[in-house]
Structures are given as C-alpha cells and as structure tokens.
C-alpha cells in the first residue's frame, strides 16, 4: 500500500494560501480542516477556502469535516473541488448513504473516528469507505500531543482491511511528527496528516520529504 503524506494547512499562513500550498507541492494531498464550532469547539473555514485551494494549486484536497450534519454538507465539498470528503462517525446520521453519494460524485469517501470511537459498528461496512481516519488527538485544534493509545485501533483496522482484501486507506491525524510517525506506520497506517510538523518546520518541503522517508522505513 502506498505511503501518502497529507499536510494540514490548519496552522499555515492562510493569508498566503497559494504560497503555503506551493510549499507542500511534493506532498500527496492537502488536508483542509473544516470546523463549525458545534461538532468541535473551534471555527475555521468552509467551502470558499476549498474553492480557493483548488484554484491556486493542483494538489488534491482532502477535506476533513469536523462539522455537525455532514449528511447535508459533505457533497458540497466534493462539488467545490475536494477530491476526498471525510465525515465523522460521531456526527453522521446515514454513513452508507452519504459515502455512496460522495462516491457517486466521483469523490473519495472517508469515515473519521475520534479517539474514543471504536470501529466495531463499521466492520461489516468497511467496503463503503475509501479511507478510515483514526484521530490521534481529540478533534478541534492543531498542535496537540499524539495519542499512542489509538494505535491498537489502527492495528486492528489494518488486520481487518487486509483480511477482507480491501484497498481502504488508514489515515492518522493529530500530533504526527518525526517523533511519532514511526509508531503509526508500524501499526499499519498508510496516510499521514501532519500540520504543525510541516508548517512550523523551518523548511516545510524538507519536512514532507523526511516524514515520507520515516513512514516508508517503518511500514510493512
Ligand atoms: O484535524 C485536526 C485537528 O482536529 C488537524 O488535522 C490536526 O490536528 C493537524 O494538526 P497537528 O499535526 O498540528 O496536530
Ligand atoms: Co484533520
């Protein structure tokens, strides 16, 4: 399974969106965190930023929707230009219907699990999703420490996906850095979101290269 690096623009200089996206042109995806101040206690941005990112960069956009009522809003993110829309298990009402709608529009459908949410309810419907996002911080803010306690869930998910012969990506998001990416790769994640570790680095482009190398070295 390919290793994918998806820098989060959460802590980038959003006033210079085009330049900030340019710094990560060597990455695979640009992770855009949408927060509504209801699902999480923080407010970021919505559809216009997806449209702008699409306009100013050719990197595929990975929309992480930390919002209430994703059933209503997620398709609009694909319509706005995101290649992938990830909605939270804790917020969605009809995950199968929503995933099918996203896929029907040509997008990738992602299911996000907050740290305390288990995968048991989704095991039989894993094939409905292109990606499962295992949050390694409580959603809402960048710069929080990585929760190693989520790794057994990643390991179990990797086993289930492989046993079923699926191509579903496992994404980890939150506190991923040069110090923590190895554990996530060893547990079986293949898609790594890194916000602070990229945008607070002196050289964001180099940080992406370094993270990719570490993830490759530790994945199996
Ligand atoms: O979804 C998120 C927070 O809810 C962010 O994607 C995540 O926190 C990235 O930032 P950092 O790498 O600094 O943790
Ligand atoms: Co995110």
- Give tens-digit pLDDT for 102-134: 999 999 999 999 999 999 999 999 999 999 999
Residue 72 CA, ligand 1 centroid: distance in Å: 24
Distance of CA 144 to the CA centre of its chain: 16
pLDDT (mean) for 82-92 = 98
Q: Are 146 and 211 in contact (CB under 8 A)?
A: no
Residue 8 CA, ligand 1 centroid: distance in Å: 7
Label the pairing between strands 84-88 and 61-66.
Answer: parallel
Element (H, E) at 192: strand 191-194
pLDDT-based confidence at residue 1 (cuts at 50, 70, 90): confident
DSSP bridge partners of 142: none
pLDDT (mean) for 160-170 = 98
Rounded to 10°, the helix 47-56/70-79 angle is 20
pTM for this predicted structure:
0.98
Residue 84 CA, ligand 2 centroid: distance in Å: 12
Residue identifier of the C-alpha nearest atom 4 of ligand 1: 139
What distance in Å separates the CA atoms of residue 89 and residue 113, rounded to the nearest whole number?
Answer: 6
> Best substitution site from 5, 6, 7, 8 to test ligand 1's pocket, by max atoms within 8 Å of Cβ?
8
pLDDT at 220: 83
Backbone angles phi, psi at 37, to 5 degrees: 65, 15
DSSP bridge partners of 181: none
> Best substitution site from 39, 85, 137, 181 to test ligand 1's pocket, by max atoms within 8 Å of Cβ?
137
pLDDT at 39: 98
Q: Which of the residues are catalytic?
A: 33, 173
- The structure tokens listed for 23 are 């710094």
The mean pLDDT of the chain is 98
State yes or no: 106 annotated in a binding site: no
State yes or no: 110 annotated in a binding site: no
What distance in Å separates the CA atoms of residue 202 and residue 218, rounded to the nearest whole number?
Answer: 24
Ligand nearest to the CA of 136: 1
State yes or no: 46 annotated in a binding site: no
Q: According to the CATH classification, is domain 4-218 in 3.20.20.70?
A: yes
pLDDT at 192: 98
SS (H, E, C) 41-105: CCECCCHHHHHHHHHHCCCCEEEEEECCCHHHHHHHHHHCCCCEEEEECCCCCCHHHHHHHHHHC
Q: Is the predicted ipTM greater than 0.90, yes or no? A: yes
State yes or no: 174 annotated in a binding site: yes
Binding-site residues, ligand 1, Cβ < 6 A: 8, 10-11, 31, 33, 64, 66, 137, 139-144, 173-176, 193-197
pLDDT (mean) for 169-189 = 98
């Amino acid at each position: 399974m390919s290793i994918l690096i998806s820098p989060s623009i959460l802590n980038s200089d959003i006033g210079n969106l085009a330049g900030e996206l340019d710094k990560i042109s060597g990455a695979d995806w640009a992770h855009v965190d949408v927060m509504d101040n209801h699902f999480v206690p923080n407010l970021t941005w919505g559809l216009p930023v997806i449209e702008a990112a699409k306009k100013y960069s050719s990197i595929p956009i990975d929309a992480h929707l930390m919002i209430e009522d994703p059933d209503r809003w997620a398709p609009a993110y694909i319509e706005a230009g995101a290649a992938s829309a990830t909605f939270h298990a804790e917020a969605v009402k009809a995950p199968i219907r929503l995933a099918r709608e996203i896929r029907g529009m040509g997008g990738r459908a992602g299911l996000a699990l907050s740290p305390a949410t288990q995968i048991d309810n989704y095991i039989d419907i894993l094939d409905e999703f292109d990606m499962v996002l295992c949050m390694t911080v409580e959603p809402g803010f960048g710069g929080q420490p990585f929760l190693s306690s989520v790794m057994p869930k990643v390991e179990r998910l990797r086993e289930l996906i492989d046993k079923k012969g699926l191509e579903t990506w496992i994404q980890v998001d939150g506190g991923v850095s040069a110090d923590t990416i190895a554990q996530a790769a060893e547990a079986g994640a293949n898609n790594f979101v890194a916000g602070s570790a990229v945008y607070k680095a002196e050289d964001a482009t180099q940080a992406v290269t370094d993270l990719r190398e570490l993830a490759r070295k530790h994945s199996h």
